[in-house]
Amino acid sequence: MNVSLEETKAAVNNLKSKNFSDNKQLYDETEAKIIKQKDYIRNKLMPDNKQEDERIKEIASKLSSHIRVAFDDFDNMDEVTNYLTPAFQRGKVDKAYGRALLLMEENTMIEQVKVHFDDSKTNAKLMDYILTELIELSTEIMPNEYSEILTIERSYFELLYSDN
């Protein structure tokens, strides 16, 4: 059963009146809805032909290494963002690169941001930066529903981090 964008948005809006410490399960369920919706959209957008699929996976493999360096080698937010910015910019010019970043690496990046810094305020700033860049990129190269789910996800993390 698929969760609709409207249901996902409503679940996030429902969190506005709920603090995290008293509603951890509700926050976790909402994040699971977001992930489920992204997976559904992502699966619809994956390439149909084998050649394009292989190309996207090859690009994603290189991107994965690039992203790993950002999180393994840098412990300062400015260094991380400065290192990742060219990948977002390239994704706007090279559509296959951008699609690989969004379809194959976006979730991994978000998961790494959630735990990268010990300070939740720094993680919140980095999450906002990453999601803003992903939304901007997806607006240029993906269908509206992908940008919309990323916008919903950014709202979720804004609520999560504002309460922690």
Q: Per-residue pLDDT tens for 90-145?
A: 999 999 999 999 999 999 999 999 999 999 999 999 999 999 999 999 999 999 99
Residue 130 lies in a domain: yes
6-44: per-residue pLDDT in tens?
A: 999 999 999 998 988 899 999 999 999 999 999 999 999
Q: What is the DSSP letter of 110?
A: H
> Could you list the residue range(s) of the whole structural domain that residue 81 is in?
23-162
- Give me the number of domains the chain comprises: 1
Residue 58 lies in a domain: yes
**Residue 57 within a domain:** yes
Residue 31 counted as domain residue: yes
Asked if residue 8 belongs to a domain, the reply is: no
Residue 3 in any domain: the answer is no
117 within some domain:
yes
**Residue 144 maps to a domain:** yes
